Structure 1
């Protein structure tokens, strides 16, 4: 069973600064993930050709199960507003996270995360980018209970704040939300945190340690796949970890392979 998390940069390539549907699909296909968490996901945005990026990823994976959870209505860096309800923003440009699975889901849960009340310096790639003082955005956790070959599995996808300290506060909120769902539990996403603070605060176990940012020459791991030690006895062992270079985004995806058989079952 292959897990992956990928910050898409709304599907944009740093080579030509364009979003191309075929290139995005090929990048997702190359991961060959069974469960994929996506961050910086657009739907109906002009900058990404009004595409539904989560649906494109699901088609590329041949995955029957997928969900998009918007964090904001509008375009980041321009004009945004928080959602007033989970079905707010229909017909408007949306931005958030996605979760795609080749396995069926029988429960979905969305938890909204409050943005930091201050501006913070952030490096933004591409034309007009650089070190900018940005206002934080609302964030979201999208979680599902999946029926996998290893049994029932709770998987959460999120993208935490870039504001130091505030992302740790959000991580605690994410952990509390996921622990209302059955074990074993996994958290996949761009936490905007290196491994040490992410694991110290969450007390969850990292399934893969690989630098993922910046994509060209990764120096730090911001993208993580964490496992809750509570109830993790049935989680299959890790057999491989990778962070392959992709044709899109300023992040590399993090990929973790789990054994086909969980630890407490005969091979």
Structure 2
């Protein structure tokens, strides 16, 4: 029997605009099963105090979560301040791998891969937040493309049944690496290419959910311009 999965990506800008409760309402109303979050704080110096990923997990009812640090600042006598990404999931997260991306001028960036036990079987979620600087982003995008190309074919022995590539790519143009990536992944946002940033008057599409091994049924840019400076992207897939 076919299964449907709702996959979402959302750059939450640390929740500094309206707090984590407003972010959680966007996610909850979308009915997402798995969410890739960017700009997430963990005892960070900006935004709500504490562990934002854990708080959003509790608020949304997506009880499985993992935080993916990109920047860690030690603070004597206090919890280290961390900044990065997170994954929220309705289903257990079995494995997580985190790799650094090339860095020339910008802050550290990470590529994370999580194996999730969905009702249809194991699915793989790749999430990232690429640099906004043109000096760094092409190399990072090329690494992302290379890793996806080298990954086992979905459904093969010891491979996930589906793979989803999600995040804030910070790339408004169909550059060579992005064009090559969407040629090996299904892009349910095409051909409409609805803009996702900035939230109040979006003029570029930089937030993506791509897939392999699953059939895209729907793609929607969420119309909430208050909770963050990005609009969330929700996609529906069939396995």
Same fold (TM over 0.5): yes
Q: Provide the rounded CA distance (Å) in 1 between the counterparts of 2:37 and 2:209.
A: 12
CA RMSD of aligned residues (A): 2.2
1:185 to 152, 157, 163: 163
Q: 1:32 to 1:250 in 2, by over 3 A?
A: same
1:222 and 2:210 correspond: no
Q: Displacement of 1:165 after TM fit?
A: 5.3
1:196 match: secondary structure? coil
From 177, 188, 203, the equivalent of 1:207 is: 188
1:161 is displaced (CA, Å) by 0.9
Maintained 8 Å contact 1:150/1:236: no
Q: Structure 1: state its 5+ residue gaps.
A: 14-18, 75-79, 81-89, 118-135, 263-267
Per-residue CA distance 1:54-111 (angstroms, 9 max, x = gap) = 112211221222100110124xxxxx9xxxxxxxxx8211100101110122221111
Distance 1:21 1:249, change over 3 A: closer
What are the ranges of 5 or more consecutive residues in structure 2 without an aligned counterpart? 153-158
SS in 1 for 2:229: coil
Match of 2:41?
A: 42
Q: Could you tell me how far apart the structure 2 residues matched to 1:223 and 1:174 are?
A: 15
| Counterpart-to-counterpart distance in 2, 1:10 and 1:213 | 16
Determine if the alignment matches structure 1 residue 151 to structure 2 residue 121: yes
Report what 2:26 is aligned to.
27
Q: Which residue of 2 aligns with 1:120?
A: none
Q: TM-score, normalised by structure 1?
A: 0.74
Q: May I ask how many residue pairs the two structures share in their alignment?
A: 218
Q: Residue deviations 1:25-49, cap 9 Å, x none?
A: 3233223210100001111023223
User: SS state of the match for residue 215, structure 1?
Assistant: coil
TM normalised by structure 2 equals 0.82
Report the CA distance between 1:137 and its aligned residue: 0.5
Q: CA deviation at 1:24?
A: 3.2
Match of 1:244 in 2: 223
Q: Secondary structure at the match of 2:199?
A: coil
Counterparts of 2:45 and 2:204 in 1: how far apart (Å)? Answer: 31
The 3 A distance-change label for structure 1 pair 50 and 67 is same
